[in-house]
Amino acid sequence: MNTKPNPCLNLKTPPEVELIYLDNAATSYPKPPDVYESMDLVYRTAGVNPGRSGFDLCRVAGNVIDETRELLTTLFGGTDPDRLVFSHNATDALNLALFGLIGRGDHVVTTQLEHNSVIRPLWTLQEDEGVDVDWIPFGKGGSVDPEAIIERLRSETKAVVMNHASNVLGTVQDVGAVGKVCRERGIHLVVDVSQTAGKIPVRMDDLGADVVCFTGHKSLMGPMGTGGMYVRDGVEIGKTRAGGTGVRSAERRHLDEYPYRLEFGTHNLVGIAGLSAGVQWVNRIGAEAIHAHEMALWQELRDGLDTIDGVTVYGHGSGSEDRIAVLSFNVVGFEAADVGTMLDVDSGIACRTGLHCAPLVHEALGTDKLHGSVRLSLGPYNTPEQIEQTIEAVREIAELGASRGASRSS
């Protein structure tokens, strides 16, 4: 694999961002300048309620929403922009999808790689509604065998719910193999693409997905408070909320047609404007180029950490085709939170520590007993120099841990 950063990606980190930011799996930062400029421009020049009135500025605001629907529909390989539904984030979209599709007496198959945005809704359905949930384990390398999921499908299986890539291990799952069988058997497939949208292709038909749930603030380079889902034609998600849509206001019951079926109240216009700018930036730079750049840096990081005694790296995928640029590790002699604090205070490196809202992953790895792991997640603005500095910072911490261990044993 080529371990040099992609020469097509020569992005300059804004001078006001001095830290080495390696928490992009939580939120990408910094954002492209286009995102900040678009949000400011739209709010200043068309910051009115979109689609609620007939005056010209209202139509301008509505066009921002409509054009972003079309942009995201194209990104996900959808066919009808009306079936692109906006929500607060991926967690909100997953709640709408899961509580709207699954009910008492149903059976669901999911994996132990999931984020709490899937675990908690399914746990609630299991505890409160008696939904039968199978939690499929992952292998040593961090991937779930599609056959292990397929083997659990039965006549009363209503849905399979899984992420496209793990936010802890970075492993990309073979969703398409599962989706093919789900389509054949009429089982809904709900895919959390929070970690992959904007990095690697997310196409409805390739995945065999009925619903893809996304967030705007990660690799789509948009602001926080944005996200949604695309719902395949013919899939009807039950309404679990009701409220204003600005359309046919005399009707007492919430509207049935998409997107109004799953949208409630006034849109986050300024956020959606920023999301649109983020997606357009990704399209212009090229998701493939961004992913290649990140994975080249990831390989340098992985190779560097592998040479440090006392550092344990989790997950064994190596190629860009089976993973994203997320790496989790621990250092002997320290809890993850201590390593994160030292990286921040001593080296100006921002990372994520703990359970990463994915407790089942850490329970399977045994890292829950260590209070989780340190996660480094790369973005398009990271550089080779930052990776070199990070490797050396971790090396210093590992050497400190080794010296502490030696002094205790003497």
Query: In angstroms, rounded to a whole number, what is the distance separating the alpha carbons of residues 193 and 172?
Result: 10
Does 42 share its domain with 62?
A: yes
pLDDT tens digits along 356-407: 999 999 999 999 998 999 999 999 999 999 999 999 999 999 999 888 765 5
Kindly state whether residues 25 and 42 are assigned to the same domain: no
Predicted confidence at residue 225, as pLDDT, reads 98
Are residues 209 and 132 located together in one domain of the fold? yes
Q: Is residue 1 predicted with pLDDT exceeding 70?
A: no
The burial class, CB within 10 Å (0-12 / 13-18 / 19+), for 170 is: buried
Shared-domain flag, residues 72 and 206: yes
Q: What's the pTM?
A: 0.94
Claim to verify: residue 51 and residue 152 sit in the same structural domain: yes
Report the domain count for the chain.
2
Are 275 and 291 in the same domain? no
- Is the CB of residue 259 less than 8 Å from the CB of residue 122? no
Query: 265: Cβ–Cβ under 8 A, 6 or more apart, which residues?
Result: 243, 244
Q: Which of 235, 260, 284 is the last residue of a domain?
A: 284
Q: Mind listing the pLDDT tens digit for each residue in 176-185?
A: 999 999 999 9
Based on the fold, state whether residues 266 and 364 are members of the same structural domain: no
Whether 211 contacts 232, CB under 8 Å: yes
* Residue 9 within any structural domain of the chain: no
- Whether residue 254 is predicted with pLDDT greater than 70 in this model: the reply is yes
pLDDT of residue 14: 66
Task: Say if 12 falls within a structural domain.
Answer: no
Q: Report whether pLDDT(9) > 90.
A: no
Q: CB–CB of 235/4 below 8 Å?
A: no
Q: Is residue 203 part of a domain?
A: yes
Last residue of a domain, which of 244, 260, 284?
Answer: 284
Task: Assess whether pLDDT exceeds 80 at residue 156.
Answer: yes
pLDDT tens for each residue of 209-247: 999 999 999 999 999 999 999 999 999 999 998 888 778
Query: Tens digits of per-residue pLDDT, 106-129?
Result: 999 999 999 999 999 999 999 999
Higher pLDDT, 322 or 12: 322
**Residues 290 and 267 both lie in one domain:** no
The chain-wide mean pLDDT, for the chain, equals: 93
* 308 & 280 share domain: no
The answer on pLDDT for 318 being more than 70 is no
Helix, strand, coil fractions of the chain, as percent rounded to 5: 40, 15, 45
The two tokens of residue 78 are: 């959808």
pLDDT band (50, 70, 90) for residue 324: very high
Judge whether residue 15 has pLDDT over 70. no
pLDDT (mean) for 190-208: 97
8 Å CB contact between 387 and 301: yes
Q: Are 110 and 161 in contact (CB under 8 A)?
A: yes
Amino acid occupying residue 99: F
What is the share, in percent, of the chain residues with pLDDT greater than 90?
82
Tens of pLDDT, residue by residue over 270-282, are 999 999 999 999 9
- Concatenated DSSP letters of 206-217: HHT-SEEEEESS
263 and 88 in contact (C-beta within 8 Å)? no
How far is residue 360 CA from its own chain's centroid? 17
Last residue within a domain, chosen from 284, 304, 333: 284
- Do 52 and 138 lie in one domain? The reply is yes
How many Å is the Cα radius of gyration of the chain?
Answer: 22
The answer to whether position 132 is within a domain reads yes
Instruction: Confirm whether 405 is domain-assigned.
Output: yes
Span 4-11, average pLDDT: 57
Whether 6 shows a pLDDT value over 80: the answer reads no
Sign for the pseudo-dihedral over CA of 52, 53, 58, 63: positive
Does 288 have pLDDT greater than 80? Answer: yes
Domain membership of residue 13 (yes or no) is no
Residue 327 host element (H or E): strand 326-331
Provide the residue range defining the domain that includes 359: 20-30+286-409
The predicted-structure confidence for 39-91, as pLDDT tens digits, reads as follows 999 999 999 988 766 788 888 999 999 999 999 999 999 999 999 999 999 99
For residue 349, tell me if it sits in a domain: yes
Do 26 and 45 belong to one domain? Answer: no
Contacts of 89 (CB under 8 A, 6+ apart): 215, 216, 217, 224, 225, 226, 227
CATH number of the domain bearing residue 326: 3.90.1150.10
Q: What is the pLDDT confidence band of residue 408, given thresholds at 50, 70 and 90?
A: low
One domain for residues 266 and 350: no
Question: What's the pLDDT at 7?
Answer: 44
Q: Residue 173 sits in a domain of what CATH number?
A: 3.40.640.10
Residue 41 belongs to some domain of the structure: yes
